[in-house]
Structure 1
Amino acid sequence: MNLLYHVVEASEWARQEGQPVYSAGSLETESFIHLSTREQLPGVLDRYYRNAPNLLVLHIDADKLVHELRYEQATNNELFPHVYGPINKDAVVAIDSNDDVK
């Protein structure tokens, strides 16, 4: 299984509960949803979500994604996975609170 990770506020995940797909705000503003590898996840949580409460980490099986997945260079020259469309929820294989993965 090729796992990738996405951080989302618990309230946003709950708001989309009855939907077959999950759509992050970045899909509208940047045309993709930000994902991370397991190795990148601690840095992402520290840089962007350090004091944010009530976060969830979605474990996503990249092989089940129905939209295009690209690894693209970020400002720090690191390659990050981006999915160019909403995430089909059958690709989400587990969900943890951010405290469980730090």
Structure 2
Amino acid sequence: MTALTAYKVLTADQMALLETGSFAGAPIDLADGYIHLSTAQQLDETVDKHFAGRADLHIAAVDLAAQGDTLKWEPSRGGQLFPHIYGPLLLETVLAYGPIERDDQGKVKLPVTG
């Protein structure tokens, strides 16, 4: 994946909704008014902080260029800039997805296409 890719962590139920074509957001997304994404560098901390102990997680690689004006980079955790989508996440803008797996060092493996 390139620098124009970010990642959305989803529960199995949320992944099923995205697979229908569009995902409006998780409860936290709906409360905040945007869909939270993480860069590859931010992903491990996001999963460990917000999804600890969950076994039903999936990850979607999102094409940021396809988000157009709905994408905004905004400061969050520790002042880091995070990508946020102000609108639904469309399946057609997802490059790859699958269950979250970790490598030998405990890092989240990024989904791959092909």
* TM-score (structure 2 length as normaliser): 0.78
- Paired residue type of 2:74: E
What count of residue pairs does the alignment treat as equivalent?
101
3-state DSSP class of the match of 1:52?
A: coil
CA contact (8 A) 2:62 2:95 kept: yes
Q: Is the 8 A contact 1:56 1:95 kept in 2?
A: yes
SS at match of 1:65: helix
Aligned match of 1:21: 22
The match for 1:81 is: 83
Higher relative contact order (CA 8 A, sep 6+): 1
Residues 69 and 16 of structure 1: CA distance in aligned 2, closer, same or farther (over 3 Å): closer
Query: Which sections of structure 2, spanning at least 5 residues, go unmatched?
Result: 109-114
- Distance in 1, Cα, partners of 2:75 & 2:86: 15
Give the equivalent residue in structure 2 for 1:51.
Answer: 53
Query: Identity of counterpart residues, as a percentage?
Result: 26
Which residue identity is paired with 1:30?
D
Shift of 1:63: 1.0
Which stretches in structure 1 are left out of the alignment for 5+ residues? none
Specify whether residues 55 and 66 from structure 1 end up closer, same or farther in structure 2 by C-alpha distance, changes over 3 A only. same
Relative to structure 1, the CA distance from residue 15 to residue 42 in structure 2 (aligned partners, 3 Å threshold; closer, same or farther) is same
- AA in 2 matched with 1:65: Q
1:85 shift after superposition? 0.5
CA 1:64/1:88 → structure 2, altered by over 3 Å: closer, same or farther? same
Counting helix residues as a fraction of each chain, which structure ranks higher? 2
Q: CA deviation at 1:39?
A: 0.5
Offset of 1:61 from its aligned partner? 0.7
SS in structure 1 opposite 2:78?
coil
TM-score by length of 1: 0.87
